C-alpha cells in the first residue's frame, strides 16, 4: 500500500501527515532535517504541499465543459483582471466543485510563484521531493461552494452542544451540516466570505431545541 506525505507549514513548524492504509499519522517538526528523516524512513509515493486560501487569490468560476488540462488555461484568462501583477508571476491551481453536461463549477486559485517555489526548493534541497501543491478547501467551505450562490442564505444556529449549519435556496433548506467546533465554523465562514462578493449569514447563539430549523428571512 502506498504512503502519502502531506506538508502544512505554519510559521516555523511543519505539520507532516503520513497517510497509509487509510490511517493518518501526524508529526510536528521544526527543521528540514526532521522532515528528511521522516521522508527517508517512509519513502512516500507522493508528497503534497498545502496552500491555504489566504495565501492566494481565490475565485469561484463557472466554465464551459472543458477537458481537465484546459481548465488552468481558462483560469489564467478569467482571473487576469483580479491579479495585481502579471499572470506570469502566478501559479494557477483549481478544485472542480461540480460538473454537469453544460458547465463546470471551479474553485480557482492563483498564488505567487516566488514564495511557494522558494519553499519547495528548500524542501527539495533538504531531500524531500514535493510532487504537488494543493489548495486547501475546508470541509464546510467545500460543502457550501458546491451548493451556494450570492443570493442564498447561510444560517448557523446552536442546537445543544453543536452548531447547525444550513443553506437555504428560495427559502428552502437544501443542505445541512453540524459541527461541535465553533471556531471551525467561524474560520470556514470567513473563508466563504473571501470567495463570494456578498453572502447573507444569519448567526444565532440562542440555544434552539432539537428538530428545529429557524428561518433566517427576517434579516
| Average pLDDT per 10 consecutive residues for the chain, totaling 219 residues | 84 85 80 91 90 79 79 86 91 80 82 91 92 76 68 80 79 75 83 72 82 58
Position 205 scores a pLDDT of 86
Position 43 scores a pLDDT of 92
Q: How many residues belong to the chain? A: 219
Position 101 scores a pLDDT of 79
Position 151 scores a pLDDT of 63
Residue ranges of domains in the chain: 140-208
Position 171 scores a pLDDT of 66
Residue 203: count of CB within 10 angstroms of its CB: 14
DSSP structural state of residue 89: G
Cα(104)–Cα(113) distance, integer angstroms: 26
Domain 140-208: which CATH number of 3.30.420, 2.60.40, 1.10.3470, 1.10.287: 3.30.420
Show the CA angle centred on residue 113, arms to residues 107 and 13, nearest 5°: 85
Position 212 scores a pLDDT of 64
Cα(162)–Cα(172) distance, integer angstroms: 22
Residue 43 exposed, middle or buried by CB count within 10 Å (0-12, 13-18, 19+): exposed
Cα(43)–Cα(182) distance, integer angstroms: 37
Residue 61 exposed, middle or buried by CB count within 10 Å (0-12, 13-18, 19+): middle
Residue 97: count of CB within 10 angstroms of its CB: 19
Amino acid at each position: 500500500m502506498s504512503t502519502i506525505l502531506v506538508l502544512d507549514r505554519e510559521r516555523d513548524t511543519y505539520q507532516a501527515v503520513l497517510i497509509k492504509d487509510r490511517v493518518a499519522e501526524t508529526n510536528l517538526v521544526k527543521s528540514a532535517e526532521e522532515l528528511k528523516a521522516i521522508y527517508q524512513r517512509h519513502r512516500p509515493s507522493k508528497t503534497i504541499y498545502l496552500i491555504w486560501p489566504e495565501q492566494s487569490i481565490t475565485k469561484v468560476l463557472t466554465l464551459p465543459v472543458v477537458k481537465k488540462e484546459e481548465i488552468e488555461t481558462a483560469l489564467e484568462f478569467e482571473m487576469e483582471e483580479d491579479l495585481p501583477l502579471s499572470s506570469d508571476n502566478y501559479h494557477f491551481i483549481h478544485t472542480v466543485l461540480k460538473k454537469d453536461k453544460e458547465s463546470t463549477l471551479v474553485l480557482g486559485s492563483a498564488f505567487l510563484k516566488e514564495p511557494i517555489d522558494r519553499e519547495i526548493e528548500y524542501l527539495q534541497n533538504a531531500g524531500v521531493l514535493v510532487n504537488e501543491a494543493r489548495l486547501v478547501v475546508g470541509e464546510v467551505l467545500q460543502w457550501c461552494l458546491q451548493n451556494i450562490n450570492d443570493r442564498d442564505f447561510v444560517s448557523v444556529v446552536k442546537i445543544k452542544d453543536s452548531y447547525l449549519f444550513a443553506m437555504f435556496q428560495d427559502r428552502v433548506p437544501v443542505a445541512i451540516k453540524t459541527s461541535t467546533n465553533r471556531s471551525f465554523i467561524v474560520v470556514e465562514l470567513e473563508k466563504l466570505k473571501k470567495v463570494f462578493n456578498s453572502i447573507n449569514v444569519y448567526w444565532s447563539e440562542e440555544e434552539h431545541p432539537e428538530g428545529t430549523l429557524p428561518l433566517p428571512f427576517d434579516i
